Amino acid sequence: MTEATGTVTAPPPRSRGALVAGSVGNFIEWYEFGVYGYFATIIAAHFFSPGGEGGAEALVRTYASFALAFFFRPLGAALFGRFGDRAGRRPALVLAVLLMTGATTLIGLLPTYATLGAAAPWLLTLLRVVQGLSAGGEFGGAVSVMTEFAPPGRRGLYGAWQSFTVALGLLGGAGVAALLAALLSSGQLHAWGWRLPFLLTLPMGLAALWLRLRLEETPSFRGERRGADASPAAPPVAPAREAVRAVALGAGRLMGWSAAGYTFLVVLPSYLQTTLNATFQQALTATVLANLGFAAAILPAGALSDRVGRRTVMVAGAVLAVLLAFPLLDLLQDPAAPTAAKGLAVVAAGAVVGLMAGPGPAMLAEMFRTHVRYTGLGLAYALSNAVFSGCAGLLITEAVERTGDIDIPAYYVAATCAVSALALATLRGDDYRRALRD
């Protein structure tokens, strides 16, 4: 059975176990990042506003803390990636989930500005930095494990599970937030209810730790280690330069996914509340619908890319995002538009992002050799997310505040996805048929 034939059989137990162990850490990471985005207005009032009143300026500071964590992702990707490419995928992923779980749980216990004073926002930002480091190490390891264990002809589908657990994490965060908003009064949610989603990370993290401690090393890593032991000479300079170029190109190919994903799936609640005067429940409902569309498209997109190629599916997603950005926002801004139409629009927006996110992990894994795969694909993803995801909330909120132009999110999505489509067009059409590079 070869990559070129596309013949598939039932995946072996080790492959399924690797899929679960790789996925669970991603779920926790994106659950927390979703929760932080969904409760951004409450966090702004508690940690970035001395009087507790919140407002646009406090929200900008909240998103600045959000963005700062993303800028530590590349450092985390480099540190964990180097460790994972040398010592193994398993120990790096165990350390990543430990740090993420600990930092997220502590956010749920952190005193607010009213209790601790000016130290509160600094402590929150410090914990966000720790989360950024661990999240930077999560993606590269998880995708390496999923794709290196994938059966022939299923690399796109297996890699898509990384993106699918992103959607599940965001949906889990939105679901918990919506449930709390329904069960608690506004005063209770503001006073202490917002802490509960962060504290729920602790039992999830312990379960993830147990799964990862049982994880085996991937066949690709074991084979590369045997080759390195037999011929311990340092890799030539040319492949190192090749990896650096691949990181830059990979970040460009992910630009649209990063920007559109965070705009439609995470920043949307705060935008709807602060710009379009939606209620918290209405904003969360729109976000849940967008994430449902995102989740529904990811696995089919990954599987389709195993048949027609990563380039075809991802370019289609980027082009559709450019075409739909302004009509979607116009529809949401129209008070006379039917609620059902708005719901379908945000579902479609999420699905378009899913077309890019499904094949994306496998596309990245295919760009790097085994001895730099964890580091390389982790850095490409982290750099793209640091610039185009982490800054999305800050840039959109600040730009709307300064210019008064409520179409800013559409400009942001259209511009980044247009550039991403050009970068994706440089993909080789048959990369999906080839074995992973040694």
Work out the percent of the chain whose per-residue pLDDT is above 90. Answer: 41
- Identify the pLDDT of residue 337: 83
Q: Is the pLDDT of residue 311 over 50?
A: yes
Contacts 24+ apart (CB under 8 A), 127-131: 127/103, 128/65, 128/66, 128/68, 128/69, 128/103, 129/68, 129/69, 129/72, 130/99, 130/102, 130/103, 131/29, 131/32, 131/33, 131/69, 131/99, 131/100, 131/103, 131/104
**pLDDT tens digits, 251-308:** 999 999 999 988 888 777 677 777 777 777 777 788 788 889 999 999 999 999 999 9
CATH number assigned to the domain covering 15-223+238-428: 1.20.1250.20
Tokens found for residue 357: 């996110």
**pLDDT tens digits, 98-143:** 999 999 999 999 998 888 888 888 898 899 899 889 988 998 999 9
Contact 62, 48 (CB under 8 A): yes
Which region among 171-175, 231-235, 333-337 has the lowest average model confidence (pLDDT)?
Answer: 231-235
- Identify the pLDDT of residue 54: 56
At 213, the amino acid letter reads L
Confidence of residue 230 (pLDDT cuts 50, 70, 90): low
- Give me the mean pLDDT over the 33-58 stretch: 74
Let me know how long the chain is: 438
Q: Name the average pLDDT for the chain.
A: 85
Which region among 241-250, 257-266, 394-403 has the lowest average model confidence (pLDDT)?
Answer: 394-403
Task: Name the residue ranges covered by the structural domains of the chain.
Answer: 15-223+238-428
Confidence of residue 21 (pLDDT cuts 50, 70, 90): confident
DSSP category for residue 434 = S
- pTM score, whole prediction: 0.82
At 1, the amino acid letter reads M
- Give me the mean pLDDT over the 174-191 stretch: 86
